[in-house]
Amino acid sequence: MNAPTPPAIRHSAWNIWLNPIFRRYCQSRLRIRDLGITLLLTILVAGFLFAMATSFGARRSMDAVDAARNGIIPLLVLQALILFVLGTAQVAGGMTAERDEGVIDYQRLIPMSPLAKVMGYLFGLPVREYVLFLATMPLSIWCLWQGRVTWNIWLPIYGVLFSSTLLYHLTGLITGTVVRNRRWAFLTSIALVFSLYTVIPQMANFGLVFFKYLTITPVFTECLPGILPKTAGSALKAAQHLLPTVKFFNLDFSEAVFTLFSQSGLALTFVVMLCRKWRRQESHLLGKLWATGFFLWIQILLLGNAIPLIEPGSLFPSQGFAWMSRIVPDWAPAKSEAVLMSGIYGLVTLGLLWVLSGIITASGDHQLKGWRRVRKQGLSAMPTLADAATGFFFTATMAVAGALGWYWFTRALVESSWFPGHRAPWHILGVFLAVLLAAGLGFQALLERKGGRATGLAVILVGVFPLMAGAVLGMISERLYPIGAWLVGMSPLSMPFFAAATILSISELPATLARAVPRSFCFWLAVWCVSTPWLGWKLWEKRSTLAARCHPDAPNQPSIPPSKTKSAGPVRVTF
Amino acid sequence: MTTSDPLSGHTRSAIDIRCLRVDYGEFTAVDDFTLSVPQGEIFGLVGPNGAGKTSLFKVITSLMEPTYGEVLLDGVDVFEDTESVRRIIGYMPDLAPVPTDLRVWEFLDFHAAAYGLGSGAQRRSRVEECLAEVDLTPQRNSWCKALSRGQTQRAVLAKTMLHRPRVLILDEPASGLDPLARRDLRNALRALTRAGATVFVSSHILGELAEMCSSLCVMNCGQLLASGTADQVRHQLGNTGRTIVASLLGRHEEAVAWLTGQSWVHDPRMNGGHVLFGFDGGDDAQANLMESLIGNGFRLRAFEEKRSSFEEILVEVAETNRQT
């Protein structure tokens, strides 16, 4: 203790080799005793796949190049499994274990920037999986070299494999940081990775092309001819000429560049979330401005990818089917397809709106704390961007932006050359606005006023149950379709579809639903349009009561001595 | 060992807490807490479970943001310049968790690297130094998870001391330690303060805390009840009276009757072979009473003054608060 406290050194976030957290995990996760068996097993499996694939090629009298190419895909699958599944699970589980054991507080206190800590965990926790991946690489390199695969083929594949790995691991890191139970963190991260990168990308088949760029699939598909045996590769390459290139409004990109661009935006948002949590444990995952910006960014990407594909017809799911089966030479999209795609766009927008408004909405505890702090500082109002401030107006902004995007997409569909004579007048925008404002703000106001449990219950009772009940009624008898439609119409989840089916001129509802769907939609939209302002009013009342309760002069208020100088900490606003 | 600011002439505090409040929803864990801990002291924090000690420590160490209030460590605002503050504090949490996948020296080496304690050799030397200070050198290669409770406490204490923090925040550091280890801990903390560090320590072993600390404060239900030296705290808590135990050779009942009429004496009673009574007078009055007792023919074998222990005072405070 005789020596003074050492001078401050800054750990660079980018110098990963010197990152203490990374080195700590290298120490603990790369012990020969533990690594040895896993490494042996991985090399064994990789060697088996390699030997099987190349022997199969030799047996089929393929030349050396084709035989070597046979081994590339099995090894890629193994490498993806190691990095995506094992790595992500390790990241999520390891992060939760840190908190479980209680040592995370030590890491919070070490003088490293939040970004340096995030980088340390991002590369440190899955370091064993990286080593296992590297252990399989000599076989892959041999296959690529012997298979004469050019650098412009393997570089994009491995580049996007790496960027997707980072994205998946960041997802795991966020889950591990947010979910408290170790087992739940593991399951949630796997479920989240599965839905984000397997289920949601399927939306690409229904017009939301952007989502497929969150996966390795587009780049892999583009490069596939180059890594397949020559004969199969040539055939696939000829077929690929029929596929569209990546378009973003009027710009053309390669699959790899656009995938990296899309993934980096999401990865950046994940890093911001993690840094916020490292900086202050209690803070929201995203600030209000960032959440709104992120929502706008997703809207722009969705529109930028989708709109250029409408006129060529590549956006319509039925064209993909017709192209593959080659059974419909005079293909044209069905009107119902466009209505469905508009509905899906609206639903995805609404879902994203709910997720982001959930992130920026302060819990009751946060609001109370925020008001006490504001009062202590002698302020009359909460700073707009503070976590404890209401998320109502930001949700409204996102809802308006979402409605504009939805309208733009729908208008491009309806007014395309595929549906001559049809128009999407401006009043449609009004209806879309009403749907997103009513459903989005209603959810947000309820969440902010009543908290997560009550909102969850409301989502089940009003959002999910009517859908299920309506579907069951529809299955019983065709005569029950109208009742089913009335029930389903109650759920905000059905509103985007009902809106598109009701107000678009291209909509062709079956006779059994032709009256029920528009009436149900109008009725329930009216109910929601009345309920949401009421919920908003009740929220305003609650916030006013809270603000008044925290006022120093309020009765039953614990005495808050007036600050002399700067006795109350400032309200910190982070973005 | 307090230091003065040469410009203002005021004593500079190592820890300055002003109007601090911590809420968990409707529950207030720390309520309008103001305290100054002078530099170079071992300052004790005493309070029953749920008093708000851990919340207070978490705020001081920047692990938790308060509802409002200000905390300055060595003059630096904890929430304005968190990174600087984290360089000057060492925090040992309650139950002292350790990672299960590291050996003792690796655990320390990681923290030494994180605090930027020089090259590999310099770090290793500092790690060995700290291990020796807590008498854990023989366990340097043991797995952290294999350590006993006391050894774990010592390993975490070594980690806390690694970067030579100017302010140490220790939450229940003595729990789980055997008497020998407690003595060593006490000596280690004294050595730290001699070198200029300030130690803010909480404990349930109150007697020991009173023995170890130059000053202490008592906290209950989130509020500061008293602070100062042990005697000052006793005085502030209104417990200045003493109990006297007189050991007599016979005539106990007569002694009780005689004492009932004496000034300053209250509540005399028999307890086995002794006579117990409360006494509110000063030292002179107490000497006179002993003289009179002998003068009246009572054969006095021993005459002992017994003060309420800190435990008794705290139990009394906690009970009073619970009732109110």
Asked if A364 reaches chain B (Cβ–Cβ under 8 Å), the answer is yes
- Alpha-carbon distance of A464 to A442, in angstroms, equals 16
Torsional sign, CA B40, B42, B47, B53: positive
For residue A497, what are the contacts with CB-CB under 8 A and spacing of at least 6? A340, A343, A346, A347
Contact A109 B86 (CB under 8 A): yes
**Do A244 and A351 fall into the same domain?**
no
> Which residues on chain B are in Cβ contact (under 8 Å) with A33?
none
> Which residues on chain B are in Cβ contact (under 8 Å) with A282?
64-65
- Classify residue A332: in a domain, yes or no: yes
Does the structure show a pLDDT above 80 at A563?
Answer: no
> Which residues on chain B are in Cβ contact (under 8 Å) with A566?
70
Q: Six-digit token pair at A137?
A: 């690489």
For residue A216, what are the contacts with CB-CB under 8 A and spacing of at least 6? A80, A157, A160, A161, A164, A259
A25-50: average pLDDT: 93
**Do A223 and A306 fall into the same domain?**
no
Checking DSSP bridges between strand B3-4 and strand B11-24, what pairing results, if any?
Answer: antiparallel
- Alpha-carbon distance of A324 to A311, in angstroms, equals 19
Checking DSSP bridges between strand B215-220 and strand B42-46, what pairing results, if any?
Answer: parallel
In angstroms, the separation between the Cα of residue A184 and the nearest Cα of chain B is 20
- Alpha-carbon distance of A483 to A91, in angstroms, equals 48
Does the structure show a pLDDT above 70 at A9?
Answer: no
- Amino acid at the residue A209: V
User: Structurally, how many domains does chain A consist of?
Assistant: 2
Q: Six-digit token pair at A318?
A: 């039925």
Q: For residue A465, with 0-12 CB atoms within 10 Å meaning exposed, 13-18 middle and 19 or more buried, which class applies?
A: middle
- Classify residue A8: in a domain, yes or no: no
Does the structure show a pLDDT above 70 at A317?
Answer: yes
What does the pLDDT read at residue A571?
41
**Chain B CA closest to residue A571:** B68
Contact A103 B31 (CB under 8 A): no
What does the pLDDT read at residue B322?
64
A346-367: average pLDDT: 94
Residue at token pair 């599965």: A194
Which has more pLDDT, A358 or B10? Answer: A358
**Do A273 and A362 fall into the same domain?**
no
Give per-residue burial for A210-228: e unless 16+ CB within 10 Å, then b.
bbbbbbbbbbbebbbbbbb
Contact B70 A566 (CB under 8 A): yes
**Do A451 and A379 fall into the same domain?**
yes
- Classify residue A558: in a domain, yes or no: no
Contact A6 B116 (CB under 8 A): yes
Last residue of a domain, one of A279, A296, A312: A279
**Do A262 and A297 fall into the same domain?**
no
> Which residues on chain A are in Cβ contact (under 8 Å) with B57?
none
**Do A273 and A296 fall into the same domain?**
no
Find residues 328-357 of chain A whose CB sits inside 8 Å of chain B: none
What does the pLDDT read at residue B30?
93
Q: Are A49 and A154 within 8 A, CB to CB?
A: no
**Do A372 and A519 fall into the same domain?**
yes
Candidates B33, B67, B147: best to mutate against A (most CBs of A within 10 A) is B67
Q: Which residues pair with B20 in a beta bridge?
A: B33
**Chain A CA closest to residue B67:** A369
Q: Are B54 and B22 within 8 A, CB to CB?
A: no
Considering only A2-6, A14-18, A57-61, which range has the smallest mean pLDDT? Answer: A2-6
**Chain B CA closest to residue A562:** B19
Q: Which of B66, B87, B106 sits opposite A5 (nearest CB)?
A: B87
Contact B70 A568 (CB under 8 A): yes
What does the pLDDT read at residue A429?
96
- Classify residue A494: in a domain, yes or no: yes
> Which residues on chain A are in Cβ contact (under 8 Å) with B194?
1
Residue at token pair 């009742």: A483
What chain B holds in terms of domains, given with CATH numbers, is 3-236 (3.40.50.300), 242-306 (3.30.70)
What does the pLDDT read at residue A374?
86
Q: Are A448 and A539 within 8 A, CB to CB?
A: yes
**Chain A CA closest to residue B189:** A1
In angstroms, the separation between the Cα of residue A558 and the nearest Cα of chain B is 9
What does the pLDDT read at residue B167?
93
Last residue of a domain, one of A260, A279, A298: A279
The DSSP result for B248-315, as a single string, is ESS-HHHHHHHHHTSTTEEEEEEETTEEEEEE-S-HHHHHHHHHHHHHTT--EEEEEEEPPPHHHHHH
- Alpha-carbon distance of B219 to B204, in angstroms, equals 12
Q: How confident is the model at residue A8 (pLDDT cuts 50, 70, 90)?
A: low
Find residues 47-106 of chain A whose CB sits inside 8 Å of chain B: 98, 101-103, 105-106
Contact B197 A109 (CB under 8 A): no
Q: How confident is the model at residue A245 (pLDDT cuts 50, 70, 90)?
A: low
Q: Are B181 and B154 within 8 A, CB to CB?
A: yes
**Do A506 and A418 fall into the same domain?**
yes
Element (H, E) at B217: strand B215-220
What does the pLDDT read at residue A568?
39
Checking DSSP bridges between strand B76-77 and strand B265-271, what pairing results, if any?
Answer: unpaired
Does the structure show a pLDDT above 70 at A6?
Answer: no
Q: Are A548 and A557 within 8 A, CB to CB?
A: no
Helix-helix angle A72-80:A217-227, to 10 degrees: 160
- Alpha-carbon distance of B53 to B66, in angstroms, equals 13
What does the pLDDT read at residue A567?
38
- Classify residue A562: in a domain, yes or no: no
Q: Are B89 and B50 within 8 A, CB to CB?
A: no
Contact B79 A569 (CB under 8 A): yes
Considering only A15-19, A333-337, A491-495, B294-298, which range has the smallest mean pLDDT? Answer: B294-298
Candidates B42, B68, B91: best to mutate against A (most CBs of A within 10 A) is B68
Find residues 179-218 of chain A whose CB sits inside 8 Å of chain B: none
Considering only A66-80, A190-204, A400-414, B96-110, which range has the smallest mean pLDDT? Answer: A190-204
A278 in helix, strand or coil? helix
- Classify residue A13: in a domain, yes or no: no
Q: Which of A106, A368, A567 sits opposite B19 (nearest CB)?
A: A567
Find residues 372-391 of chain A whose CB sits inside 8 Å of chain B: 372-373, 376-377
Looking at residue A4, what DSSP letter applies?
P
> Which residues on chain A are in Cβ contact (under 8 Å) with B67?
369, 372-373, 376
In angstroms, the separation between the Cα of residue A127 and the nearest Cα of chain B is 14
In angstroms, the separation between the Cα of residue B259 and the nearest Cα of chain A is 48
What does the pLDDT read at residue A74?
94
pLDDT digits (tens), chain B, 324 positions: 344 444 444 457 899 999 999 988 788 999 889 999 999 899 999 888 888 999 999 999 999 888 888 899 988 888 888 888 888 999 998 888 899 999 999 999 999 999 988 888 999 999 999 999 888 999 999 999 999 888 898 899 999 999 999 999 998 888 777 788 788 788 888 888 888 899 999 876 666 677 788 888 888 888 888 888 877 887 777 665 677 888 888 888 888 888 888 888 888 888 777 888 888 777 788 888 888 888 888 888 888 877 666 666 677 666 766 665
- Classify residue A496: in a domain, yes or no: yes
Contact B68 A3 (CB under 8 A): no
Last residue of a domain, one of A253, A279, A305: A279
Q: Are B193 and B42 within 8 A, CB to CB?
A: yes
**Do A375 and A500 fall into the same domain?**
yes
Residue at token pair 């600011």: B5
User: Percentage of residues in chain A with pLDDT exceeding 90?
Assistant: 55
Contact A567 B18 (CB under 8 A): yes
**Chain A CA closest to residue B158:** A1
pLDDT tens digits along A541-553: 999 998 888 766 6
**Do A450 and A326 fall into the same domain?**
yes
A72-92: average pLDDT: 92
Does the structure show a pLDDT above 60 at A572?
Answer: no
Candidates A2, A5, A26, A27: best to mutate against B (most CBs of B within 10 A) is A5
Q: Which of B63, B88, B192 sits opposite A105 (nearest CB)?
A: B63
What does the pLDDT read at residue B302?
85
A27 in helix, strand or coil? helix
Contact A27 B102 (CB under 8 A): yes
- Alpha-carbon distance of A149 to A214, in angstroms, equals 25
**Do A254 and A350 fall into the same domain?**
no
- Closest by alpha carbon to A463, among A361, A343, A299, A351? A351
- Strand ranges of the sheet holding B300-306, from the earlier edge strand across to the other edge: B265-271, B274-279, B242-248, B300-306
Element (H, E) at A193: helix A182-194
What does the pLDDT read at residue B184?
79
Candidates B31, B105, B115, B134: best to mutate against A (most CBs of A within 10 A) is B115
Q: Six-digit token pair at A345?
A: 């766009």
In angstroms, the separation between the Cα of residue A21 and the nearest Cα of chain B is 7
**Chain A CA closest to residue B77:** A569
> Which residues on chain A are in Cβ contact (under 8 Å) with B129?
none
- Alpha-carbon distance of A98 to A125, in angstroms, equals 11
**Do A297 and A266 fall into the same domain?**
no
- Alpha-carbon distance of B305 to B282, in angstroms, equals 12
Domain that holds residue A503: 282-553
**Chain B CA closest to residue A34:** B101
A275-280: average pLDDT: 91
Element (H, E) at B37: strand B27-38
